[in-house]
Amino acid sequence: MPSILYRGLCYVFRRAWNLLNPRAIAWRYMKKRHPNKAIITKLGIDLKVRVYPHDVIGASIYVKRMYEPAECKFVMKFLKPGMVFFDVGANLGQYTLLAARRVGLAGQVHSFEPSSRMFQELEFNVRFNDLSNICALNRKALSNKIGTGKLSCYRPGTEVFSSLGNHCRQSALMIGHEDVEITTLDTYIGEKGIGHVDLIKMDIEGAELLAIQGGVHTLSKVTAPTILLEMADINTVGFGYRATEIWDYFETLGYHLYCFDKYGLISGLAQRPADFSREQNLVAMKSKL
């Protein structure tokens, strides 16, 4: 185990680098002087996206070339040509684009983003990278029912916090709600005639349990998709449940939950915590490694 001193020095070094990194300095300048100016920046190795200096996710992509690098590495290592990927809570399309590059023309990417502004950014980024023939984009939210719902709206750039629930992030300013279309995973798969889904990335600010319940038919199969998802009580409280209930529901479907390391590699079975007061991304799989 690394010593406390070593971990402390690593933290100080990361903080210093984040402050002195030329791209971080440029981003802070643009955020202050030109917060609404569109910027085309690199994503990963050979992709590009449009971001704005007020974007929460855009900041990481501009400075580090990727948001949630460990999660992205897991997705890219998992996916192979010809696979089917679902991006639930696509935002500006980072995972959509990375997945489309991996699955290629023989594969499929189905993306869900209910926010009106972020759906426009998603559409732009997919077209800009010439990946429209691989990606099916849906301005919809996944839940456990079909109909319409109220999506909380935050100031531009913080749509990453938008939710169908009643939670409110203190770090972001909510400015209202917008009506959005809701469907279920099982309904969508049936309507599109999709025979098999390999991987689902799900980050929908607390609606994860509802989306999983809406896919119970698909997720009950032995060949059910692997799911990368966020577990956080700060999000689920807006729906009236605890994130550990997602864990328990997964177990009833025969799933096992795993941790992964910074390289995107499965590092072992996760241990069920008392709560998810600290946000954590986990991988749910039917097979036991």
Question: How do residues 128-177 score in pLDDT, each as one tens digit?
Answer: 999 999 999 999 999 999 999 999 888 888 888 889 987 666 566 788 89
Answer yes or no: are the C-beta atoms of 239 and 272 closer than 8 Å. no
Measured CA distances, 64 to 18, 20, 72, 114, 122 (Å)? 10, 13, 12, 26, 20
pLDDT of residue 154: 86
Instruction: Name all domains of the chain by residue range, CATH numbers in brackets.
Output: 7-65 (no CATH), 68-285 (3.40.50.150)
pLDDT in tens, 102-111: 999 999 999 9
Confidence of residue 1 (pLDDT cuts 50, 70, 90): very low
Binned at pLDDT 50, 70 and 90, residue 184 comes out as very high
